[in-house]
Structure 1
Amino acid sequence: MICMYKIGVVGERDAVIAFLALGLQVRAVETPEEAMRAVDTMAREGNGVIFVTETTAKEIEETIERYKNQMLPAIILIPGSQGSLGIGLAKIKDNVEKAVGVDILSKKEG
């Protein structure tokens, strides 16, 4: 039996609207309350991955944190319409360092 998870995207309209063309479930939000509801609804609806723009994630940190230690959904931060804030990359770096035991993603000068 193959289990297929849906993929959702939450964030400001300019950043998420293009994901509709890929067939993803998209929620354009304007307020932190809308964003929290959208993430929670997508999680309940069985989305295995939810992409959230960094700008939006910054406003709903408690909601993002609540899903951090759960297997599903995976919350992945992506750059918003204003570009990257570096939050998503920092979280990936922290997770890799936790898994490997050493920071392997920083550029070493030498």
Structure 2
Amino acid sequence: MVKIAVMGDYDSIYGFAALGLTIFPVDTDKTEEAAKTLRNLAENDFGVIYITESLAADLEKEISRYEGRLTPAIILIPGVRGNTGAGVLQVKKSVEQAVGSDILFGNDE
């Protein structure tokens, strides 16, 4: 069975535990510790990993290791400090790859 994880600062992710998801609070000042947590999740049957946008910004290099792979699916979510737009851009990029064009704005960018 595929497991789902949520990573980020505690205030942003604690509510996901009520939904039955496994949460992994990470101190955003400890990037190497967060990268290690992400690697451990990816190697231990977590098929979907939600990461707050602010944490994902610090883990770009680590997250890029999993691009193009079927699992884990790494999905950016806004944190308590708000939406940076990174999650929307990630979805837009994925749709462009799947469809071959930008379905929202066309190809005239």
Give the TM-score normalised by structure 1: 0.89
One-letter code of the match for 1:10?
Answer: M
Q: How many residues align?
A: 104
One-letter code of the match for 1:33?
Answer: E
Alpha-carbon distance in structure 1 between the residues aligned to 2:72 and 2:92: 19
Identity fraction in percent: 44
Q: Counterpart of 1:94 in 2: which secondary structure?
A: helix
Alpha-carbon distance in structure 2 between the residues aligned to 1:54 and 1:70: 20
Alpha-carbon distance in structure 2 between the residues aligned to 1:56 and 1:85: 11
Residue number among 17, 22, 38 corresponding to 1:25 in the alignment: 22
Residue number among 2, 6, 9 corresponding to 1:5 in the alignment: 2
One-letter code of the match for 2:34?
Answer: A
Q: Unmatched 5+ residue regions in structure 2?
A: none
Runs of 4+ aligned structure 1 residues displaced above 6 Å come to: none
- Residue correspondence of structure 1 range 33-72 to structure 2 within 5 A: 33-72=32-71
One-letter code of the match for 2:24?
Answer: R
- Tell me how far 1:102 sits from its aligned partner: 1.5
Alpha-carbon distance in structure 1 between the residues aligned to 2:72 and 2:43: 9
How big is each residue's C-alpha offset from its partner over 1:17-51, in whole Å with a ceiling of 9 and x where there is no partner? 11111111111111212211111111111001000
Residue number among 11, 25, 34 corresponding to 1:14 in the alignment: 11
Is residue 90 of structure 1 aligned with residue 85 of structure 2?
no
Q: Unmatched 5+ residue regions in structure 1?
A: none
Q: Counterpart of 1:67 in 2: which secondary structure?
A: coil
Give the TM-score normalised by structure 2: 0.89
Q: Counterpart of 1:105 in 2: which secondary structure?
A: coil
- Tell me how far 1:60 sits from its aligned partner: 0.7
One-letter code of the match for 2:47?
Answer: G
